[in-house]
Amino acid sequence: MAFEPDQTPPTRDELDKTTGTVVVQFGTGWCGYCNRFAPIFERLVKQYPDVQPIWVEDGPGRVLGRTFKVKLWPTLVFLKDGKVVTQLVRPTEAEAAAAFAEITS
């Protein structure tokens, strides 16, 4: 499975107002790291159904990624009730799994 962004990404204001647990994955379709990470992310999303996933296409001129200081892909931003809890840059499978487990505990 390749990286597939949501058609209409949320704004930072919308993310700040979310309730519950959200993970935002920033990346792009041509990013090799993103495409290799995509099946791992899919498995974790299925394993943790209480975490709402959002895929965001990032790159030049894309404001949302800059508000989270995203510089490399994939970057995962975990939010709980609109507050950033953890941010991972090019995570390993173990790092991502630990973050999912931690945010849902």
- Written as one string, the DSSP assignment of 24-62 is EEEE-TT-HHHHHHHHHHHHHHHH-TTEEEEEEE--TT-
Looking at residue 16, what is its pLDDT? 98
Per DSSP, the three-state class of 75 is: strand
Looking at residue 8, what is its pLDDT? 85
- Asked if pLDDT for residue 6 goes beyond 70, the answer is no
CATH assignment, 12-104:
3.40.30.10
- pLDDT tens, position by position, 48-103: 999 999 999 999 889 999 999 999 999 999 999 999 999 999 999 999 999 999 99
- pLDDT tens, position by position, 7-43: 788 999 999 999 999 999 999 999 999 999 999 999 9
What are the domain boundaries of the chain?
12-104
Per DSSP, the three-state class of 79 is: strand
Strands 21-27 and 75-80: antiparallel
pTM for this predicted structure:
0.93
- Asked if pLDDT for residue 2 goes beyond 70, the answer is no
